[in-house]
Amino acid sequence: MTADLARSWLTFSAPVAAARAAGRPLVALESTIIAHGMPYPENVRTAREVEDLIRNLGAEPATIALIGGRIRIGLAHDELERLGRSGQAQKVSRRDLPAVLASGGLGATTVAGTMICAALAGIEVFVTGGIGGVHRGAQETFDISADLQELAKTSVAVVCAGAKSILDIGLTLEYLETHGVPVLSCEQDNVAAFYTRDSGFRADFRLDDPAQQARFIRTKWDLGLAGGVVLSTPVPEAAAMASDEIDALTQQALADAMAQGITGKAVTPFLLARIEALTSGRSLATNIALVKHNAEVGARLALALAQVL
C-alpha cells in the first residue's frame, strides 16, 4: 500500500484539521485507555481533561480511534462518550487494523495501533499512560507486546510513565535495546514504572529540557534511523504508589488471571482492573495523575519539535 493510499483511510476532526492548516503541533492520544484502561465515567472525563491540558499548552490533541471504517484523527465529545460507555470497542493493534476497518467496527487503538495511525497522519508525538512490553513469565508464554516491535519500526516519539508495572521491565528494556530504540528519561535518571516512580533501571539518556529532547529525536530521524523514541517521565510523587505494594498486588492479579484462563491481549486490561479493585480505586487515581502529567510533557515536546526542523 502506498503512503497516499494509506492516508486515504484517515478522517481528521475539524479542530485537528484547523490545527494542521495553521501549522500548530499535534499530540496523538490512544483510545484503548478510554475503552479498556479505565472504568466509566472516569475514562471519558480523564480523556477530556487530558485534551484540555494539551490545548492549554498550545498544541492540539488528536485522540485516535476506528469508527465506521475510518481511522479517526481527533474525536468529538459524543465519540469519546461512545468509546467509554459501549464496552464493545475492539482493541486494535497492527494485526487488527485491517479487520476492524474492513468490517466498519468500533476500534480502540493500542500503543502500536496509535503509533501507526499517528505516523500516517504526520503526527510525531504520542502520549500514553505506559507502554506494553515483555510480560512476566514470557520465558514460557512468549507473551511480548506488539508495542515493542512498533517502537522499533515506526518513527513516533512516545511519552509515557515507562512500561506498565505489571510487566517484566528489565526484559522490556533489553528488548528495546536490541532493536535500537532509545529510552530517554526526564525528571530523574531511572526509567519510571507506571504506578511507581522508579523501576530501578537507568534510562539510556536523561534529558529534562524539551528543546534537548527535540534535538535528540530530530537528529535520530535526520540520520535515517527509523523507529520510535521512548520518553519516560515519572508519575507525580504525591500520586505514586509503593513498589513493594504494587509487586504484591501484581502477583495476586497474575494468579487470578491464570486461574480464570485469561490470556493474550485480555491480560493487561484484566490486571489493571484487578489491581484497581484490590486497591479500592487508589491505582486508578495514580493512573489518571500519570496520564495528565505525561500529556503536559508531551505537549511541551511537540511544541519544541515544531521549532527543530
pLDDT digits (tens, 9 = 90+) for 255-284: 898 899 887 767 778 888 888 888 888 999
Q: Where are the alpha helices (DSSP H) in 104-242?
A: 111-120, 138-141, 146-153, 169-178, 210-222
CA 72 from centre of chain: 17
Pull the grid cell for residue 9.
483511510
pLDDT for the residue numbered 111: 97
Residue 244 confidence (pLDDT) above 60: yes
**What's the rounded Cα separation, in Å, for the pair 165 and 286?**
12
116-129 pLDDT per residue, tens = 999 999 999 999 99
Average pLDDT over residues 241-254: 88
pLDDT for the residue numbered 2: 66
Q: How confident is the model at residue 130 (pLDDT cuts 50, 70, 90)?
A: very high
**What's the rounded Cα separation, in Å, for the pair 70 and 72?**
6
- Mean pLDDT score of the chain: 94
Give the pTM. 0.94
CA 36 from centre of chain: 13
Q: Which helix (H) or strand (E) holds 85?
A: helix 77-86
CB-based burial, 63-81: b 16+ in 10 Å, e otherwise: bbbbbeeebbbbbeeebbb
Q: From the CB of residue 56, how many other CB atoms can be counted at a distance below 10 Å?
A: 10
**What's the rounded Cα separation, in Å, for the pair 133 and 145?**
5
> Under a CB-based contact definition with an 8 Å cutoff, are residues 305 and 229 in contact?
no
Q: How confident is the model at residue 298 (pLDDT cuts 50, 70, 90)?
A: very high
72-115 pLDDT per residue, tens = 999 999 999 999 998 889 999 999 999 999 999 999 999 999 99
Amino acid of residue 127:
V
pLDDT for the residue numbered 121: 97
* Residues acting as catalytic residues: 30, 164
Q: What is the set of domains in the chain, with CATH numbers?
A: 3-307 (3.40.1790.10)
Range from 104-108, 142-146, 191-195, 290-294 carrying the lowest mean pLDDT: 142-146
pLDDT for the residue numbered 267: 78
Residue indicated by cell numbers 485534551: 51
Counting residues of the chain whose pLDDT is more than 70, the rounded percentage is 98
Classify strands 157-160 and 90-92 as parallel, antiparallel or unpaired: unpaired
Residue 230, helix vs strand vs coil: strand
Residue 234 confidence (pLDDT) above 90: yes
Average pLDDT over residues 179-190: 98
Within the chain, strands assigned E span 10-12, 26-29, 60-67, 70-73, 90-92, 107-109, 125-127, 157-160, 183-185, 205-206, 229-232
pLDDT for the residue numbered 264: 73
